[in-house]
Every structure is written in structure tokens, then in C-alpha cells.
Structure 1
Amino acid sequence: MGFRVIKGGLLTTVQDLGRSGYQSQGFNVGGVMDRRSFRIANLLLDNPENEAVLECTLIGPTLEFTSSQIIAITGGDFRPELNDDPVPMYTAIYVNKGDVLKVGSARTGRTCYIAFSNYLQIPVVMGSRSTNLKCGIGGFKGRKLNDGDYISTRIKRRKYLPFFLSRSLPLHEFDSSTETIRVIMGPQDDMFSSKGIETFLNSEFTISSNFDRMGVRMDGPFVESKMGSDIISDGIALGAIQVPAHGKPIILLADHQTAGGYAKIGTVASVDLPKVVQRRIDDKIRFKSITVEEAQHLIKVEEHEYQEFRNRIHKPCKEVLEVRLTAQRLEKLFV
């Protein structure tokens, strides 16, 4: 009961929200790169908020299902196909035994997420099912998925969800090649000259090819420090923006180190981290300074948006009110 991996894709791993509580021992949290897309994928299926998913990077996998269940695909548009027919993103999709899901290359964004109604049979390691590639633990055997792998599911039920036809969200979040990223300045912004701060906040930066799960380096104008940017190593937060001696900002992402010795000019607001991780090489970004209070308000606004999504997918859609349309849709789902 599960699925067989026909093609593993470029980098497909099992991920959840990661391992909290171990950074003081030098073990990073890890987990999904795009927490928003991850949450929405599980929300569409009424899954637990931290249920493990597949995270696909740039080129997705091809999966053959050995049991019926419901899936949802969110994040960048990877042009998925089920039995060679296109299927929509941000929508609950019924799959039968023997169906083949092909997740293509990214048309927009950089990562996508596949959630499963029957839950992946992945052992919990240090409180998480996420894959830590550097340490080789968690996920599926501590590594990315390869051709021929097989992953089972934990439950056999949940072959239908209430309000099934309503479980679709009209989201197209990563179509733009330019973004404004909101940041909280500090904790070492005082190590940068007024010219350096002005450059950071008023210039356009380009996403470089130095981009992985650990972080992404920006190409652009030199961000000037006062007397160098080396510091005594201290703790690193998700989204911290380091500026080494070369003056090019580096945004630290899911697999960031737990401590570092470069000054951090700012930290990306958590609600904007998905915009960063879904950027593509040569995309453009600008930084905008906000306060801690503004960042906290943005989190509240986003939580309200998630609740609106829940309300939307738990209401009868107009097709349900038309008996003939309902019969036609059900026939397509189950025949």
C-alpha cells in the first residue's frame, strides 16, 4: 500500500517541519524549504499540519501508485500529469491503484510538495520524519529518492474527503521573476556603514547559481561594512542574511549552519521566506526594512488566510448543487 518510484527526479526527499530543540548541540532544524506550500498541501487533505510530504526540487519524480488515495501538489508549477493527462496544482486529486503521476520540470518556482491522504510510512527520528542529507538520517534511508524505491503508507482509509470538489485553491504565487523581500534589520547591522545600509535597502540583487538547501548568495552591488564583517561566531536563525568580506548578501535557508562568524545585516520575515526559496537563478529581489511588530502582524494575517482557505474547501461548491454536473464529475473520478 503506497507507491513505487519509477524516476526519482533531481532531488526528491521526504520532509516535514524539521527537528526542533537540537540547535544548541549543533544540529539544524532542516525540514521543508517552503513552509507555506507545505502547509497548504496538508490543509487541502485535512492532514495533520506537520504530516510528512515529498519535496521536489526543479525536476520532479514519476510515481506509480499501488493503492488508491488522495494527493495534493502545491508550490512551484511543475506541470504534473496523471496517466499522461494534466492535473491541476493546489487541488485534491484522487488516484487509483496503477495510476502513474509524472511531476515534470518547474515552470515557475523551484520546489513543489506532494501530500498524501494515507500518510507516508517513514520512521520518526529525533521527533521528525524529515530528511537530513548531510547527516544521512531521517526520511527514506537518510537520502533522496532513487529509481526503484518503494514507500508504503501508514493507513488504508481516507479514500474520500467531504466537500471533495471544493478542495481547490486558485493560487499562482510564484509567477513573477521579481520580488520585494521584507527584512528585520540586525542583529549586526551596526557593523555596516550608512552607505552599506543604503545599498542593501535600495539596490536590486540577482539570485546566483550558488543556491541549495543551505542558502542562496545574491549577486549585486558591494554592501560596505565599517571595519570588516567578521565576528565571533554566534547563533544563526532561519532567514538570516550574512554579508561576508566579498560584500554579497547570503540568505540562510532550511539546512543552514547553527552558528556563523559573519555579520548578519538582517533577517528575512518568515512570511517572505517562501518567496526566497522559490526564486530561480537570475530572478531579481529587493529588500525592504520592517519592524518586529510588523513582521508579527504579517504572521497573524497569514494565519487568518489559512483559516479562510479551510473555510473555502469545507463548503459545497456550485457543482454539488447541480445533480447532473455532480454525476459527471464523479464518473470521471471513479471510472
Structure 2
Amino acid sequence: MTALRVVSPGLNTTVQDLGRFGYQAQGVPVAGVLDPVALRLANALVGNAPGEAGLELCALGPRLAVVGEGARLAVVGPVRLTLTRDGESCRLDHDRAHLLRDGDVLALGAVEGAATAVLAVEGGFDLEPVLGSLSTYSRAALGPLGGKALSAGAVLPLRRPHPSDEPCLLLAAPFDYGAGPIRVMPGPQADRFTDEALALFLSSDYAVAKDADRMGLRLEGPGLEHRDGAGIPSDGLVAGCIQVPGNGQPIVLLADHQTVGGYAKIATVISADLPRLGRAVPGTRLRFSAVSLAEAQAARRTLEQAVAAAVAALRSDGGGLDLAALYSANLVSGMVSGEEP
């Protein structure tokens, strides 16, 4: 069996695909990767279908040992990578594929400048889907590996017994997620807020709070006033809904959001900007702008065109991993002790 063995798990590393759809009526959240763009690009780098499950790394990644016939993998996102082979260590680049062999240990360190990064492996993980998906929803222990984050000693079997002979690919440039205000469509309960609150929401800066997680981003900023209290009859929720509880502080719902909720929603983030929010770290300052349905649809088309262009621009490095060159130019001393980088 070829597999990745978890030497150390990182802070909150989970198996995620694009989500578990079709079960919200039964109270099962969609879950899925916070940054679907990164997952799609990582899969493209190793020749997988866009929705193949990978590992989502949050803040600090795991240390993984290759067992068996080797593996081709790719990491997309600003994470520090260190490979240890035969007792010597070197740094590797993210946003590209690497060919690893039996006994190699890959340490995925801090994710810098974003909340998450994604690792994909050629052929995907040989794990049993739960309700048609390999996404992990930890709050209900739903998904592969008991529905939990990685733990030390866990083994992730790979579908491919050995990597292909294809050349390693890399992104031509880091993906541009865009900048500027997060675009929203007002509602569905915008009428539950005062006119002043709506204007304040669209003209103020908000900061991502420290207790942000996969369920949602709690924001800190000017309080938003309801017309007649925050509560509404519970109704369905989608990723990007912006609930405003009684304290007036908005909460942007993300992948692990509950299926129904009873707080009024002032606006909903358009799908094209959700990957940006999936990367937001505590302290990130956000501003919102209102767009129409037509503008939201156009933005989604633009995002899809950008992802397709990034995949079309993938280029070969001309071969596999040149360890000799890496060791001579980028050797990392003191990395053989097994300590986290």
C-alpha cells in the first residue's frame, strides 16, 4: 500500500473536497474546502479532477511521511515546505507539484498571509465517502477518518500505487484573488434593518475577529441596528449569508455553517468572493459593496475564466525534483531533529 503517514498533524488539518451537497434538508451542512480555487488548482497540478479531495491546512500544516512506491503531490497556498530525505533537508516551493519517494518526510509549516492552504495528491486518497463526499465536518464527526482532523499516526492511503511518469507542473504565477470591497447582494432580510444600518454596513470597515473559524467569520466594527429585534423565524442558510445577532456585529457564514438560523441576514456575499473570505485571517479588514444579481453572475463568470486560464497556463519544470541542486542552493541546517520548522 502506498500512503501518507501523519507524523504530526498540524493545528487543524482536515480532508476536504468541494462539499457534501443534497443533505441540508436533513440538517447536514455542506462543509467542504474554504478555498475551492486552491483545491482546484492543486488538483490540476497533479492531474486530478477539480473536485478530488485534498488536505486543508489551517495556520500550521502537518508533517507527512511517504510510505510505499512514492507520491506526486502539490501544495497551493503560502505555506512553508521542508523535505527531509536520507537525513538531509531542503526547502520546496509551493504552488507546484513535487515527486516524493518512499521514506521522504514533508513538513508543511506555517501558512503565511492566508488562513488556509491545500495539498492534493495524484489520484486522490483511497478513503470511504460519507454521504457521497470526503469532506470533514468535525462538529458532527462526519466524514473520513472518523470525521475528525488528522491525528499523529493516522494513515492516508492513496489510490495510485505509484506516481505517474508525467513531468511536474507549476503555476505560471500565484493566483490573483482580487482586492477591494467584498461584494454582496442585500438581503434576504435587509428590511429588518434601519436605513442607517444598511448605509453604515456598506460604508464601514470591519475586522475579522479572533474567534473566526470554518463555521463563520465574526466581524468587529460599527454595530448595526435592527428595526424590530434580531430574531426571525428560522430559515435556510447558504455560505456567504451575513447574520446580525442582537449585539449588532455581523457574522459571515462559511463552509461549516448550520443549515438554518434565526437571525436576520443583512446581505449575502457573492460566490465569486467566497474564496477570498476563506483565506481571511483574524485582523483582516473588510469593506462591503452592494451589487446586482447580474453583476454577481458576471463576477462568477470572471472567476471561472481566471481559474481556467491559470490551469491552461500550467507549465512543466522540465523534469522531477532536482535534490542535488536544492541541497547545494537551499540546504536548511538543523532540520533533521524532527522538530517543527
Does the pair score TM above 0.5?
Answer: yes
**C-alpha deviation, 1:233, in angstroms:** 0.5
- The SS at the match of 1:217 is strand
The count of aligned residue pairs is 320
| Pair 142,160 (structure 1): closer, same or farther in 2 beyond 3 Å | same
* 8 Å CA contact 1:241, 1:266 repeated in 2: yes
* 8 Å CA contact 2:175, 2:310 repeated in 1: no
* 8 Å CA contact 1:61, 1:102 repeated in 2: yes
What RMSD in Å do the two structures reach over aligned CA positions?
Answer: 2.2
Aligned position for 1:95: 100
Counterpart AA for 1:206: A
- CA distance in 1: counterparts of 2:63 and 2:17, whole angstroms: 21
Query: Cα deviations across residues 74-125 of structure 1 (Å, max 9, x unaligned)?
Result: 13x1211122322112111111111111111122101111000032111011
**C-alpha deviation, 1:29, in angstroms:** 0.7
* 8 Å CA contact 1:201, 1:286 repeated in 2: yes
Aligned position for 1:132: 137
Counterpart AA for 2:4: F
Aligned: 1:169 with 2:148:
no
- CA distance in 2: counterparts of 1:135 and 1:329, whole angstroms: 43
- The SS at the match of 2:110 is coil
| Pair 190,328 (structure 1): closer, same or farther in 2 beyond 3 Å | closer
For structure 2, the 5+ residue unaligned runs are 327-341
**C-alpha deviation, 1:328, in angstroms:** 9.9
- CA distance in 1: counterparts of 2:62 and 2:320, whole angstroms: 32
- The SS at the match of 1:305 is helix
Aligned pairs for 1:188-227 (under 5 A) are 188-227=189-228
* 8 Å CA contact 1:179, 1:284 repeated in 2: no
Counterpart AA for 2:38: S
| Pair 328,262 (structure 1): closer, same or farther in 2 beyond 3 Å | closer
Identity %: 36
Which of 110, 116, 119 matches 1:111?
116
- CA distance in 1: counterparts of 2:283 and 2:180, whole angstroms: 12
The 10-residue stretch of structure 1 (82-91 or 51-60) with the greater mean CA deviation from structure 2: 82-91
After superposing on structure 2, the runs of 4+ consecutive aligned residues of structure 1 that deviate more than 4 Å are 326-333
Counterpart AA for 1:53: G
**C-alpha deviation, 1:213, in angstroms:** 1.1
Aligned position for 2:184: 183
**TM-score, normalised relative to structure 2:** 0.88
**TM-score, normalised relative to structure 1:** 0.90
Counterpart AA for 2:295: E
Query: Cα deviations across residues 113-145 of structure 1 (Å, max 9, x unaligned)?
Result: 100003211101111011121221212222111
Aligned position for 1:5: 6
Counterpart AA for 1:144: A
* 8 Å CA contact 2:98, 2:321 repeated in 1: no
